[in-house]
Structure 1
Amino acid sequence: MSDPNTSDQTGGAAKPKRLFRVLFALSVALNLLVVFAVIGVFTKGPGARGGPPGLREISAPYVGAFEREDKRAMRAQMHERLPGRSAGIAANKADYSAFLAIVRAEEFDAPRAAMIMEGQMARVADLQKLGREMALARIAAMSLPERRAYADRLQDWLDHKAHKRGKPER
């Protein structure tokens, strides 16, 4: 009979290394699922059961309180100052393709994957910053009666949304 230790030394050494890689890949996949779930919650807002407010829920009242002409002017300004929508879509597609290649690769490059995600988040942050700057500049240019009217519309928006809580959205 053969010595059981001999067979472990020849063929068994590769098994723990492979098992470690599989476990590591599963761990990374689970971590990414958690990261994407958190990103999804923050970008989509709360689900039917509640949750943290999303970007739209936070920014919508500020934008909604502007007069229609102001909203149109701000939208036109944003279109002038931002790269075209197709450029943003193309950049996101390229990022997703690169991310998928990293995830599918033999060795997972976590720092590179993080850089891709951070780049996408930076584009979103730039858009948010521009919108915030434009809104504040527009409010700063208002007269006191205009600011008060804006504040009243903002209060109406917030009160109206507070009354709708618990009711299904249409």
Structure 2
Amino acid sequence: MSDPEATAPPRRGRNRLSLALGLSLAVNVLLLGLIGGAFLSHRPGGGLSDAVTMRALGPYGRALSDSDRAEIRKALRAEAPRVREERREVRQGFRDMLTALRGDTFDAERIAMVLDRQGARVQTHAGMVRQLMLDRLSAMSPEERSAFADRLERVLRHGPPGRDRCPVPPQGR
């Protein structure tokens, strides 16, 4: 007859692995929720709000001039159908996650698939915003890029002022 203790796997390692996987899942869901919530924030007209767009650009968005910010908003409006479709897909991803979480059994593979799809959508959107920023920087004159660099340096040194962007210095600087 075999010894039951000799064939039983060690429980301590399994419990730690389960805890680590659970915590990892919780952090991933939290991050996707934060990103998805910001992504789903939009104006009634269907476009992303200026604040959401500029937050996605971080310090770069705060350092943009009003005219540069307006150009990025204009470019985003041109992308509105794509953004709306991505937003629909993100909402569907959250519905899929809720369905998976409420299932009788925990299906880690299914949840990982939902998280992967949501992550890919967030990456796609981030790539679009990155490209818009790169396009805007490419369209600037050397003087405009230098002024942008000065504003960016101030934002990085002092953080954002009371509003969500760095004030534009007077022309002729």
Q: If the TM-score is normalised by the length of the shorter chain, which range does it land in?
A: 0.5 to 0.7
Highest CA radius of gyration, 1 or 2? 1
In the TM superposition, residue 30 of structure 1 has moved relative to its aligned partner by: 5.1
Q: Is the 8 A contact 2:63 2:155 kept in 1?
A: yes
- Segments of structure 2 that go 5 or more residues without pairing to the other structure are 1-14, 38-53, 163-173
Change (3 A) 1:149 1:79: same
Structure-1-length-normalised TM-score: 0.59
Change (3 A) 1:113 1:82: farther
Q: Which structure features the higher share of helix residues?
A: 1
Please name the residue that 2:28 is paired with: 35
In the TM superposition, residue 88 of structure 1 has moved relative to its aligned partner by: 3.9
Residue by residue, what CA displacement relative to the aligned partner does 1:34-67 show, whole Å, maximum 9, x if unpaired? Answer: 43345568889xxxxxxxxxxx878321112121
Let me know the Cα RMSD of the aligned residues.
3.3
Structure-2-length-normalised TM-score: 0.59
- Segments of structure 1 that go 5 or more residues without pairing to the other structure are 1-22, 45-55, 165-170
Please name the residue that 2:111 is paired with: 113
Q: Percent identity?
A: 29
Deviates more, 1:112-121 or 1:154-163: 154-163
SS of structure 1 residue aligned to 2:159: helix
Partners of 2:77 and 2:55 lie apart in 1 by: 22
SS of structure 2 residue aligned to 1:157: helix
In the TM superposition, residue 137 of structure 1 has moved relative to its aligned partner by: 2.0
- After superposing on structure 2, the runs of 4+ consecutive aligned residues of structure 1 that deviate more than 6 Å are 40-44
